[in-house]
Structures are given as C-alpha cells and as structure tokens.
Structure 1
Amino acid sequence: MSRWEPNARGRLAAAALELYSERGYEQTAVAEIAKHAGLTERTFFNHYADKREVLFATADEFRDRFVGAVSDALKSVAPIDALAAGLEAIAEMLTEQRDFVRSRQAVIMLNPELQERDLIKLASTSAALAETLRQHGIAEPEASLAAESGIALFKVSFHRWIATKEEHELSLFMREALDALKSVTAGKGARSVT
C-alpha cells in the first residue's frame, strides 16, 4: 500500500458510514474501516481521533458557519433575522452533503452514545451563538433565548428534512419553522382543539 492515498479522509468517512449502516456502530472496528477504505489503521488515526469522530468531523465547520453568518447579519438586521441567515448558511452546507447527512443521522439515531454526542455538539453551537449575540449588544436573557431558539429551529427543520422522502431543500423547512415560531410568539399560532 502506498504511503499517500488521495482523499483518504473522505474514503475513511464513506467506509465507516457504510459499515456502521450495515453492521452497526458498536460492531464496527477501526481496523475494519481502514481495511474497507483500502488504508491502514495508522492512516485512520491520522485523520480521526476515534471511530465516533468520523460522524462528527464537520461539527466545528457547522458551528463556525452558523455563528459566522449570524455575526455578519447582526450588523444590519434584527437578531431573529440574523438567526435566519445562520440557518440558511448551514442549510446550504448540509444540502451539499445530503446523502451522507441522512445516512449519518440514521446511524446516530440507533445509538444513545452518538445521540448524546450530537446534543453536546449542538449545545456548543448554542453557547457560541449566545456569546456572539452578547458581543453584538444583545442582553441576557434575550441572547441565550435567541441562541436556543436557533438550535430548536435547526433541530425541528433538520428532522423534518431527514424524514421526508421528497427532495425538498432543507432551507424550505427552516423558513417554515421560523415562520411558525414568529407566528407563535406573536400569539397567532395554530391551536389544537381538545
């Protein structure tokens, strides 16, 4: 096997996801992932700290895009509209990786440890959003409420997008969720009759 292989990181991620989907996360070893990708275990550990991180390798990029877009938008729009800009930025990122993201989420939903890790990553993003809002002059508790609302909007939209069989854009679900939140906070939300 040669010392250098093109796109080793991507090949490892694809191999891991394929094996996790077929065998299960717990039943898949790093050695199997590396072999399936045509690489060595050492190469795997040059790219990922452990087999869990294959699924969360883009978490920092997700946070940075979300927070960066919100920060840029806060210079000219209200906080809720800045959150919408952040949601659009991450919708674009995830839509580009649609098949991988959907398969990844299916693996995560079958494993409590991975679900916990996913929630920790989202909490980190929420904290970064709140800090950015505070830096732009948004006081507490508004900054934290807005940040948590942004994460809630993402989670609801993302799960609807994952669940649909149709090829809708994630941004459509995000805009619908944002409109619903605005409606609820304005007192115009739909009420169920019990």
Structure 2
Amino acid sequence: MLATFAGSSSAEAAARRPGKVYLYRGLMNVFSLGMDQIAYKLQAAGVATSVSNHTLWSSEANDMIARWQAGNREPIILMGHSAGADATISVARKLAQYNIPVALIVNFDPVAPDAVPNNVKQIVNYYVPAGWGRAVSADPRFKGKLANVNESSTTNHFAIDKDDTLQRQAIARVLAVTGGGARRKPAAPKPAQVSAAPQ
C-alpha cells in the first residue's frame, strides 16, 4: 500500500521545496504510523512525500531510477521505521548501482539493516538497542556523515517513530536538505534614501 499525500490547505499554501521524501512503514502497516504523521507535517512545509510498506521498496527504487534517468536531479530523501528503516538502505544500495546519490536517510530503529552504501551523503539512525533496534554501519568506501543515536532511555521500538522530539529533528534535517523552496516570497522594497540638496 502506497499513500501519496496530496496536501492540505496549509500544504498548498507553502512554497514547494525541491526533492521528495520516501517514507517506509514496517510490519503490517500498523506499527509505523509515525511515518504518516511526519509525511503530513512535511507536506505542510511544502515537501513532496509518499508513504508505503517496506515490501514495496524495490519497485519504488525503480521509479526513482526512472525519474533520475529522465533528468530529475532533485534530492532523494529516505525515511523508515523498523523493517521500513531496513528498506531505506536497500533502496540506497540499489540506487548506488546507477550512481544515484541519496541526500539524506533518517531511520527509526531498523531491525536488520545492510551496510550503508557510499552514495548516501548523510544518515541519522535513531535506535533502541535493548529491543529489536540496531545501529547501522557503512561500507568501507562510505565518505558521508553517519550518526547512530541511542534512544533507549527515552522510548521503545513501537513508539520511537511517534516521538515528537525525534519527529521534529527529522523534519528539520529534511528542510535543511530541501532548502528554501522553488518559490520565494519577494523581499519588501527598501525605503528610498533622500540625499540632502547640494548647497
């Protein structure tokens, strides 16, 4: 199941930002609804998103490859929870075969992640090692930024994607990558300066 959020009135009012965020839910689409929450908030900020089950990662990667080969060079951003977090790295590894960069991955408690490939510019991994969560590691050629953030003192596997603080951090990272948007509000004109008349 894939959900593309068309945007609420607030999303329509926001200037569209370049790039797209692909969010992946974990098992059975019932334990990862934080992905839907983040998607709605990103849409309100003008960011295009889609939310799907982790099992659809390969077909979505094919769509990303097709878009890139058609000339779309906007940032690709991946986000997921649980098995959906594993899926983000699987997508990145498939894109690496075509030399397609991934601007950002934000993961919430992956359970069996592959190594992060060298086409990923930055990845932030929030995890709870006491449960199913795992830290991520990178391929030897990886030259991006990787941060494993242990959240075992604040949350658990089933709640981590819904944590408001972590959601705000994830959204801030996305907005830092997507920049100021395709349309900018023009600056207000400066008042004219009046010079004194010559004596």
TM-score by length of 2: 0.27
User: More strand by proportion, 1 or 2?
Assistant: 2
User: More helix by proportion, 1 or 2?
Assistant: 1
TM-score by length of 1: 0.28
